[in-house]
Amino acid sequence: MHAGNPVIPGWYADPEAAIFGKTYWIYPTWSDDYDRQLFIDAFSSPDLVRWTRHPHVLDVRAIHWARSAMWAPAVVAKGGRYYLFFAANDIQSDREVGGIGVAVADHPQGPFRDLLGKPLVGAFHNGAQPIDQSVFRDDDGQYYLIYGGWKHANIARLKDDFTGLMPFADGTVFKEITPEHYVEGPMMFKRDGRYYLMWSEGGWTGPDYSVAYAIGDSPLGPFRRIGKILEQDPSIATGAGHHSLLHTPDGRWYIVYHRRPRGETAANHRVVCIDRLEFDARGRILPVRMTRQGVEAHPLR
């Protein structure tokens, strides 16, 4: 039994994937005009094939400062609660209200409510628009916020309760870690003691949207671009990017991403897909083969 791609119906993008207990979760952006992006849905599955929609796990009515463009969720389970980081309002300068917020819930299906009553990051730092956040937990328990649009990527240390950011040893709060050709959509993971930074390149509305990566020896880099691992296959889909990863307890890796179906040209006609992610003997990420059949059923044990 295969999931088929797309794995969930409807126009969705920027999927955040997570495993909570014995359940897979996907939290995507609702792909529509900015003034209609007023909520975030979630989807759960026991096996990557059968998916259940949980509508409006976060709604703009719970975030008094948000008015549009609710984007790119990132979800963390900690201390029996669930924290959803999101971007809102697509701010273009520090004179506007918006940026990256945090919501909290007692269950992965929500309902999520505003944790801070204001953005966690509400201004530009190092040229990075405050969007496209992800959260990385290092082996020592430190959580990092990695984010940035407008071709700049920042990393910052999160407080233990996610209510703010902590300075690094040199007193700075935001450190730029932008690799070559970076555009947006950063995420980080650790494998065999090395730090992998992944991101999206190209224009999100075009066919050349794609995913590239680098490897560093610390979460602060330096990160030198290695190359692309996911890009268009015109026979299947274009605009493949803004991804996240799943790593199962038995060692399988999956890439969860959006793409534009063959023949579609509308900017917001994007769908969520899952394919396998694999590494070579040196730890390099192998090119991802986009498929229509998707992945096999794989229940969590």
List the catalytic residues.
14, 184
Tokens read off for 39: 């909520």
Please tell me whether residue 79 adopts helix, strand or coil conformation: coil
Element (H, E) at 272: strand 271-276
- Residues 166-192 as b/e (b if ≥16 CB within 10 A, e otherwise) read eeeeeeeebbbbbbeebbbbbbbbeee
**Which residue's entry shows tokens 């059949």?**
293
Please tell me whether residue 139 adopts helix, strand or coil conformation: coil
Tokens read off for 198: 């992944």
Evaluate whether 31 touches 23 at the Cβ level (below 8 Å).
no
Strands (E), 152-287: 154-158, 165-166, 175-176, 184-191, 194-201, 210-216, 224-230, 237-247, 253-261, 271-276
Contacts of 224-233 with CB under 8 Å at 24 or more apart are 224/179, 224/180, 225/179, 225/180, 225/181, 226/284, 226/285, 228/201, 228/287, 229/277, 229/285, 229/286, 229/287, 229/288, 230/255, 230/257, 230/287, 230/288, 230/290, 232/207, 232/208, 232/259, 233/290
